[in-house]
């Protein structure tokens, strides 16, 4: 076991991890943030997408020990000071169905809008291409993101 520190949603926390502990498991089981989900365990589905130092990453592909002293934001952190405009749009446009992919997609879409406030539809499709959704056919999700354009 090694002692590491992770800044999770603005709070610096210390914890003990095994060298082979996966970041996703540690965030969920040792730190209690449950919004990142496990859908495939190999980086295919994107349900575990989080912000690592401001960049979206798939937390099932990262060892917890690599995140020592790094800053992580999950959907819980994003929602902390009220919902974002994008989240409001997702709700009002009934974008999600089962909702399991919503945390990952929200992170990926937030990253896109942070860097490119005026994306084209093709930009949005490409930004979400690493996040699988089986319910919606993507259209209502894309519509909501497009409606956030500046």
69 and 84 in contact (C-beta within 8 Å)?
no
Stretch that binds another protein, among 31-39, 50-58, 61-69, 110-118 (CB under 8 A): 31-39
Phi first, then psi, for residue 12 (nearest 5°) are: -80, 120
Of 2, 114, 129, 147, which lies in the binding site for another protein, with binding defined by CB under 8 A? 129
Say how far apart CA 1 and CA 141 lie, in whole Å: 41
Crossing angle between the packed helical segments 85-92 and 102-115, to the nearest 10 degrees: 130
Phi first, then psi, for residue 72 (nearest 5°) are: -120, 135
Give 15 or 100: the residue with its C-beta nearer to another protein: 100
24 and 33 in contact (C-beta within 8 Å)?
no
Of 34, 85, 115, 149, which lies in the binding site for another protein, with binding defined by CB under 8 A? 34
Stretch that binds another protein, among 49-57, 61-69, 111-119, 123-131 (CB under 8 A): 123-131
Binding site for another protein (CB under 8 A): 28, 32, 34-35, 37-42, 44-45, 47, 74-76, 78-79, 83, 87, 90-92, 94-103, 106, 124-126, 128-142
């Amino acid at each position: 076991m090694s002692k590491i520190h992770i800044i999770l949603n603005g709070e610096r926390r210390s914890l003990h991890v095994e060298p082979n502990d996966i970041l996703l498991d540690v965030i969920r089981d040792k730190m209690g943030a449950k919004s990142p989900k496990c859908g495939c365990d190999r980086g295919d589905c994107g349900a575990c997408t989080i912000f690592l130092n401001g960049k979206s990453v798939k937390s099932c592909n990262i060892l917890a020990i690599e995140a020592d002293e790094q800053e992580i934001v999950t959907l819980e952190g994003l929602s902390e000071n009220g919902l974002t405009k994008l989240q409001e749009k997702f709700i009002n446009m009934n974008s999600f169905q089962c909702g399991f992919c919503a945390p990952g997609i929200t992170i990926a879409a937030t990253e896109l809008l942070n860097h490119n406030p005026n994306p084209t539809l093709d930009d949005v499709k490409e930004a979400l291409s690493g996040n699988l959704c089986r319910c919606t056919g993507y259209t209502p999700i894309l519509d909501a993101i497009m409606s956030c354009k500046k």
